[in-house]
Amino acid sequence: MISPAGPPELLNLDRAVDWLKQLGFQIKVGKYVRNVNGYLAGSDQERLSDFHEMFLDDTVRAIICSRGGYGSARFADQIDFNLIRRHPKIFWGYSDITYLHTAIRQITGLVTFHGPMLASDWGMADVPLLSRLLFSQLLQPGWLRYDEQVSNLYVIADGVAEGPLVGGNLSLLVSTLGTPFEIDTKKKLLLIEDIGEDPYKVDSMLNQLRLSGKLDQAAGFVIGNFRLDRLIEEDDSPSFDEVFKTYFGSSGKPALSGFLIGHCRPNFSVPLGTEAFLDTEKKQLWVQPGVF
């Protein structure tokens, strides 16, 4: 386990580690996992060192991040991607980890996993069963099907599309633009989710993706959870769904919202970089396994 972004809450971290040990896993703890440097889990070099060390160690089969927050992008340009190519393994997290998912996939071709993290999810006192069960995709791989048995889904634009599932946290995707790690959406299903962002900020970020051509290039859109833990300040503010309809409703490409993917409970974990199939009439998303 590593902390490539913010420092984890230690009680939750220990609780998550105990759960993994009960499942029979052996845990290797990054040297700097528990460090605190303001809003970062140690210095950039310390967090990068743990990241490299876990990929280098061939006894490590999976790397799971302790939490998100902020900080992964600060060392992205110092990552040894050849090291990752030589020692491919499971890499798991979400939120700020979106930056690492995007960089790793686009440079090395490695499939990574968008899913619950140690301290911020699995270490909570009451973890939804579905969040735990989806971890089994690493041990018993198979196609994942998401339909309305999981949650209510809403059609923003009709259609059927297929392609590699990419994306993650919307704020982080936008922050890749103009960098060597700029998100590639061409002929891909774009997953977006976020937390704590007002509809007008989501509007602004989607507009940035539109102006940069990323929405036009995508094959379709998987809209995850957009959580705002307070009332929208402006009474006349559009809803999230109204913002989504603005950008996806007349796109001519399928868009489905309501997925419990992101900062939510339960958190439905999915591989990024594998083939996926989206059908708005059946309200289904199918995702190819990330391990075989």
Residues 228-256 have pLDDT tens digits of 876 666 667 889 999 999 999 989 999 99
> What is the per-residue pLDDT for 235?
64
Give yes or no: 193 in active site.
yes
Nearest-10 crossing angle of helices 240-248, 199-211: 10
Same domain membership, residue 57 and residue 27? yes
In angstroms, rounded to a whole number, what is the distance separating the alpha carbons of residues 190 and 219?
Answer: 8
Q: What is the predicted pLDDT for the residue at 204?
A: 98
In this prediction the pTM is 0.96
Which member of 52, 101, 114, 263 is catalytic? 263
User: Do 177 and 219 sit in the same domain of this protein?
Assistant: yes
| Residue 275's CATH number | 3.50.30.60
- Residue 236 pLDDT: 75
Q: Summarize the chain as % helix, strand, coil (round to 5).
A: 35, 20, 45
β-strands 62-64, 90-93: how paired?
A: parallel
CATH code of the domain containing 32: 3.40.50.10740
Domain co-membership, 202 together with 101: no
Q: Are residues 219 and 281 in the same domain?
A: yes
Are residues 212 and 157 both part of a single domain?
yes
Please tell me which residue in 66, 95, 120, 131 is annotated as part of the active site.
Answer: 95
Distance CA 226, CA 260 (A): 9
Active-site choice (193, 197, 257, 269): 193
**Whether residues 148 and 283 fall in one domain:** yes
Chain segment 12-68, per-residue pLDDT in tens: 999 999 999 999 999 999 999 999 999 999 999 999 999 999 999 999 999 999 999
134 belongs to a structural domain: no
Distance CA(67)–CA(13), nearest Å, equals 9
Q: Are residues 237 and 176 in the same domain?
A: yes
Confirm whether 137 is domain-assigned.
no
In a domain, 208, yes or no: yes
- Last residue of one domain, picked from the residues 78, 102, 127: 127
Q: Give every residue of the chain whose pLDDT is below 70, as ranges.
A: 230-235
Neighbours of 140 (CB within 10 A): 8
For 111, the domain range is: 10-127
Q: What pLDDT does 230 receive? A: 67
Q: 144: exposed, middle or buried (C-beta count within 10 Å: 0-12, 13-18, 19+)?
A: buried
Number of domains in the chain: 2
Same domain, 162 and 251: yes
